[in-house]
Amino acid sequence: MSSLTEKKTVAFHTLGCKLNTYDTEWHREQFEREGYDVVPFGDPADVTVVNTCTVTGQGDAQSRQMLRRAHRASPEGLVVATGCYAQMDPDTIAEMPEVDLVVGTAEKTQLLDLINDTCSLGRTFVTRSRSTEFQDMDIMNFGGRSRAFVKVQEGCNEFCSFCVIPFARGRSRSRTVESTVSQVERLVQSGYQEVVLTGVHIGDYGMDLDVRFVDLLEAVERVQGLKRFRVSSIEATFLTPEVIDFLASTPKFCRHLHVPLQSGDDSILSAMRRPYRSAFYADLLDRLADRIPGIGIGADVMVGFPGESEAAFRNTVGLVESSPLVFLHVFPYSPRGNTPAAKLSDNVGPAVRKQRGAELRELAKSKTEVFQRQFLGQPLDVLFEGRREAQTGLLQGVTDNYIRVFSPGPDAAKDTVLPVTLSHIEAERVIGEISQG
């Protein structure tokens, strides 16, 4: 480990979820304010920060791989591990000779101070505490992204049998409505036309503040100048009639929700300690599709949970087929230490997990195309991003209901919301034309 050079540089690499991406963007902004130049990951840097993930065993392995890669790129630089894996297993990371600082999720806002302390101590430094209060982490520039993210909630109280997130990110805690609205107002003034409200367990918002999630939604919707907003992943049990009614009532809501499923079999849901059963989930999605026409609904689905028989898997396939789900994130079960599921027997072999995952992905692919085709010939509002597709030079962006669209158009269209008529699907890509007038 070397001391920092006069020309300070920092590189970042993020694994895992959108919340990790949010945290990394916040760190990037803090380092830039301290005079650091941000360089691409893999380039030599005085400091390299790897924001780790521990949702699966693969996440742990990839985190270690990226930490080693960071050291190879900058053998004289400081290598920092932060994020959920750093929180859950700091000792394993600290034993890696490539790592100089291990920062858990509670201390992430103190990262710059901890880096200075580590340089002074000249040895690996590990933090271990847990946060009990929400930490406001405002970001004003999302590194060229067209939409802005606002984290309104952190942590989780659910303790599903397979999940370590409550241990990695702590108990549920919320940002105040006033602080959230203030941040959204600043982002709108900075030119962002879309904001995404995000959190670990966003439906749990307000339980610690004696306010409801719908109260937050109503306050954000009232922000002057805000073109549209999204809600990130939200559990089915928190999509109350009040929330659905409000989302259906406002044109500012982007018609897209990610509602984790995990399994369509009741016995597996019970073993997972999920707080709903398949009939409840299916009925909820039908109500969403009825109340919000054109909504694009996505879900997480886990394959190969211990005890998942062929019949149980068929129940999952059947629910996905018959429901209005159109986007799936499919992933194999991965045992995590100290979780109840890790003690279960009747494990599903890797070949079966792989086959089941492939089947669901193919099903999702076909459902996505059917969903996209129903909008061909129609104009939909698209938020164009600040970059063109590399191969074709076409503009690219996302409709409110989460259809990625490619279109010819001028640079002036970047980072703006414009009506686009979807014309055809070509090589699994939706092509459109910016509507005139």
d(CA 16, CA 62): 10
- Position 95 pLDDT exceeds 60: yes
What percentage of residues in the chain have a pLDDT greater than 70? 93
- Position 338 pLDDT exceeds 80: yes
Residue whose C-alpha is closest to residue 384's, from 412, 344, 423: 412
Check for a shared fold between 131-254 and 379-434: no
**Residue ranges covered by each domain of the chain:** 9-126, 131-254, 284-333+340-374, 379-434
Q: What is the mean pLDDT of residues 141-154?
A: 80
Fold entry, domain 9-126? Rossmann fold (3.40.50)
**HSE (side-chain half, CA atoms, 13 Å) at 136:** 12
Q: Which two tokens stand for residue 310?
A: 């062929």
Residue 299 contacts residue 285 (beta carbons within 8 Å): no
- Position 1 pLDDT exceeds 50: no
Domain 131-254, CATH among 3.30.9.10, 3.30.750.210, 3.40.50.300, 3.30.1330.10: 3.30.750.210
CA 251, 256, 259, 263 torsion-angle sign: positive
Radius of gyration of the chain (CA): 22
379-434: CATH architecture: Beta Barrel (2.40)
Residue 218 contacts residue 183 (beta carbons within 8 Å): no
Q: What is the reported pLDDT for 3?
A: 47
Bigger pLDDT: 39 or 130?
39
pLDDT band at 132 (very low <50, low <70, confident <90, very high): low
For the domain made up of 284-333+340-374, the CATH class stated in words is: alpha beta
Weakest mean pLDDT among 10-19, 138-147, 329-338 = 138-147
pLDDT band at 4 (very low <50, low <70, confident <90, very high): very low
Q: What tens digit of pLDDT does each residue of 103-126 get?
A: 988 788 888 888 877 765 554 555
- Position 2 pLDDT exceeds 50: no
Amino acid at 390: A
Which helix or strand (DSSP H or E) is residue 353 part of? helix 350-373
Q: What tens digit of pLDDT does each residue of 345-375 get?
A: 889 999 999 999 999 999 999 999 999 999 9
Q: What tens digit of pLDDT does each residue of 13-64 get?
A: 999 888 888 889 889 999 999 999 999 999 999 999 999 999 888 899 999 9
